[in-house]
Amino acid sequence: MASSPNYWLRRKNISRRTFLYGSGLTAAGVLTSIACGSGDDDDDDGGQSSGPGAAGAGQATSTALPVSTVAAKTGGTLNLIWNVADAQLDPHSTTEHLSPEIYRAVSHGLLKQESVTEKPVADLAQSWEKPDPTTLVFKLNPAAKWQNIAPLNGRAVTAEDVVYSLKRIGTPGPAAPRASTFALIDSYTATDKNTVTLKLKSPFVPILVPLSDKWSVIVAPEIVEKFGDLKRGESIVGCGPFICQSAESSKGATLVRNPDYWGKKPYLDKVVYTTILDAEARIAAFKSGQADVSDILPALLVDQFKQSDVQIYEFDQVGVGISLIGGPNDKEPLNDERVRRAINLVIDRTVMGQAAFPGSKLTNAGLFGNPVWGVPEKEVAEMPGFHGKTTDAEIKEAKDLISAYAGGKSVEIVCNTTKAYNAHHIDRAEALVPMLKQIGIDLKLNVMEFGAMKDAETKKQLQFTAATYAAYGDPHTPLNNSFTSTGTRNYWSFNDPTYDGLVAKQAQEEDVAKRKQMVIDLQKYLMKGTPVSSNIWFQKTPIAVRKKVKNFQGTLSAGSSASGWYLADTWLDA
């Protein structure tokens, strides 16, 4: 066990045992109010932490969006903008964000995560314990019941429902993109109607993180049986504070207060998500008052949002995000290490950053754009291709590598991309074209619908992509899912037994400082071996919230954090 103080024990006085098998190991984010100054963490004793809040690229502290001290009001409609048309709405099989956002308001998980910090906390499970290193026992809230909608008709939520849902997430298959995260769970047992017991194959320190992330929602077996899957809006039925009135992946969703909710009643009458794909249209919708919250504000336009009725907040990167450029290592031309090395050398990550986030203050990161778990900034700057502007020497070396591979001929590569999440995809892909051109690679952009592009990734029906983005609550998930030989999001066909062993070892390490160093070493291992290239940054995310909106938590975009699970606490002072 770690002998020195750690971040979560300082903040919330949770037990050391809970911290070690839970995720005191998640990253803690920084949130400061641009208009009102920095938030204050009253629970912080001011000491240095050896845990995830320790200084790396700078110490990360935590607070949340301001909690109103005024008596809450009931009623009103909260209008939210969504920025991408997801392919479908099944939270267990999607790799995207709208459906878990909806489900976390309509249903519950075994656990959920604190807003901003992403620390796992109670949800359906009121308490849990770890009687031995490979056993977890969760006690469910006996008051929990499903919504009064056929065929559930308000029946009690049971341990069997939880077991069914977790097995549905963790059973390997094409519709289970997070199955490899659950691979260390050996068995799921409903010990009685309100007790769930998980047996692990071996100790797994960050187990509470995948159990609490926004995708790990509990669903009813009867609903899956009735509809065959959960991909359509009519199948969204849960045990939470809001009822899904309508939902369509390409248009958005409307949620209404659940009058029979068994827990604390929500304040809002209604929550409306409207999908607006065009960035300028989203900005216009917010500025005209059609939306109450706006996320992913372009840095160059932040001043335009500083209206008298709007508050701007700024988050540090909280989730362990990755953004990757490359393709399957078992297909030409990326099966040749020289090609992968050349691409990694010639990517000007500073130019890529400004193409994606114009005007933002960005610092090149390594594999993780996270100040807690990422490779320290100074070390990143010393790595080939990561120090800033690409040098003439790096361009020459990259040219020589491509020439040696292709015998002096040009190499053509087809890059799948999409206009959805444009900052993560087509903006970067277009910036990459001239970079690769100068070393003899002709990058052809294959612009696809978002759902088709994600489907091609899952089936590894691609030659190249720029960039695949994902965000998680703990570093084990991207290290495991994206790069181990059994990883369900290993689109790169990367197969390295040494790497697999190192990932398994870090997942069992209970000492926080030791595990952090192991995670950093694993990132360096990947960056040196270049199965893919990384382009991600240490950056801040601004969010605009109308002042009438009280107690809104989380974010509204791609990321591991969500606002859905705290909408019951949100209210309007209007």
| Position 167 in a domain | yes
Q: 2 lies in a domain?
A: no
Neighbours of 295 (CB within 10 A): 23
Domain of 548, CATH number, reads 3.40.190.10
Same domain assignment for residues 531 and 544: no
Tell me how far apart the alpha carbons of residues 229 and 439 are, in angstroms, rounded to a whole number. Answer: 47
Say yes or no: 70 and 114 in one domain: yes
Q: Which residues contact 435 (CB under 8 A, 6 or more apart)?
A: 346, 347, 348, 351, 390
Residue of 296 and 374 predicted with greater confidence: 374
Residue at 32 is within a domain: yes
Cβ neighbours of residue 78 closer than 8 Å, sequence gap 6 or more: 268, 270, 271, 272, 292, 293, 549, 552, 567, 570, 572
- The least confident of 124-133, 280-289, 301-310, 491-500 is 301-310
List the Cα angle 265/94/353 in 5-degree steps.
Answer: 100
Q: How far apart are CA 569 and CA 551, in angstroms?
A: 6
Say if residue 327 is in the same domain as residue 273: no
The total number of structural domains in the chain stands at: 2
Domain limits at 242? 7-315+540-572
Confidence tier at 21 by pLDDT (50, 70, 90): very low
pLDDT tens digits for 355-364?
888 888 888 8
Peptide bond into 333 cis (omega under 30): yes
Residues 6+ apart with CB under 8 A from 37: none
Q: Which pLDDT band, with edges at 50, 70 and 90, does 16 fall under? A: very low
How far is the C-alpha of 237 from the C-alpha of 218, rounded, in Å? 10
Q: Are residues 175 and 237 in the same domain?
A: yes
User: What's the predicted TM-score (pTM) here?
Assistant: 0.80
Give the whole-angstrom CA distance, residue 413 versus residue 24.
Answer: 43
CB 420 within 8 A of CB 82: no
Q: Is 26's pLDDT higher than 80?
A: no
Between CA 434 and CA 355 the distance in angstroms is 13
User: How confident is the model over 409-432, as pLDDT tens digits?
Assistant: 999 999 999 988 777 889 999 999
Structure tokens at 434: 């001239």
- Residues 82, 256: Cα–Cα separation, whole Å: 18
> What does the alpha-carbon distance between residue 314 and residue 292 come to, in Å, rounded to a whole number?
16
The angle formed by the CA atoms of residues 366, 367 and 372, to the nearest 5 degrees, is 80
The predicted structure's pLDDT at residue 298: 66
| Rounded distance between C-alpha atoms, residue 347 and residue 325, angstroms | 10
pLDDT band at 250 (very low <50, low <70, confident <90, very high): confident
Cβ proximity of 153 and 144 under 8 Å: no
Q: Are 184 and 170 a contacting pair, CB within 8 Å?
A: no
**β-bridge pairing 270-275 and 77-82:** parallel
CA distances from 356 to 83, 351, 367, 458 (A): 15, 9, 17, 24
C-beta of residue 122 within 8 angstroms of C-beta of residue 263: no
204 and 324 belong to one structural domain:
no
Q: Is residue 107 part of a domain?
A: yes
Residue 1 belongs to a domain = no
Instruction: Examine the pLDDT at 12 and tell me if it is beyond 50.
Output: no
Residues making up the chain, counted from first to last = 574
Q: In the β-sheet with 320-326, what is the strand arrangement from edge to edge?
A: 441-448, 411-418, 465-472, 320-326, 533-534
Same domain, 113 and 64: yes
Q: Does the pLDDT of residue 533 top 60, yes or no? A: yes
Is 60:53 a contact under the CB 8 Å cutoff?
A: yes
Of all residues in the chain, what percent carry a pLDDT higher than 90? 56
Please, are residues 214 and 187 in contact by the beta-carbon 8 Å criterion?
no
Report strand pairing: 441-448 vs 411-418: parallel
Residue 290: pLDDT over 50? yes
Beta carbons of 100 and 201 less than 8 angstroms apart: no
246, 254 in Cβ contact below 8 A? yes
* Six-digit token string for 135: 């056993």
- 252, 86 Cβ separation under 8 angstroms: no
Q: Let me know if residue 40 belongs to a domain.
A: yes
pLDDT for the residue numbered 403:
97
Find the CATH number of the domain harbouring 454: 3.10.105.10
Considering the domain architecture, whether residues 419 and 276 belong to the same structural domain is answered as: no
336 and 277 in a single domain? The answer is no
* pLDDT tens-digit readout, 541-558: 778 889 999 988 766 554
Q: Give, as one character, the DSSP assignment of residue 503.
A: H
Is residue 204 assigned to a domain? yes
353 and 328 share one domain: yes
Are residue 544 and residue 533 in the same domain, yes or no? no
**Alpha helices of 22-112 — where are they, by DSSP H?**
98-106
244 lies in some domain: yes
Q: How far is CA 539 from CA 64, 364, 467, in A?
A: 18, 9, 17
**508: closest CA among 183, 199, 202?**
202
* Among candidate residues 85, 82, 81, the one with its CA nearest the CA of residue 450: 85
The CA angle 530-536-539, to the nearest 5 degrees, is: 155
Asked whether 335 and 474 are in contact (CB, 8 A), the reply is: no
pLDDT tens digits, one per residue of 79-135: 998 877 777 899 999 888 888 989 999 999 999 988 767 789 999 999 999 999 999
C-alpha triplet 400, 405, 409: angle, nearest 5°: 85
Looking at the fold, whether 31 and 115 belong to one and the same domain comes out as: yes
Residue type, 134: T
Q: Is the pLDDT of residue 152 over 80?
A: yes
At 108, the amino acid letter reads H
Give the containing element (helix H, strand E) for 413: strand 411-418
Bridge-based pairing state of the strands 320-326 and 465-472: antiparallel
Tell me the backbone φ, ψ of residue 484, rounded to 5 degrees: -75, 160
For the stretch 441-472, pLDDT in tens is: 999 999 998 888 988 988 889 999 987 777 77
- Are 146 and 217 members of one domain? yes
User: How far apart are alpha carbons 324 and 340 in whole angstroms?
Assistant: 12
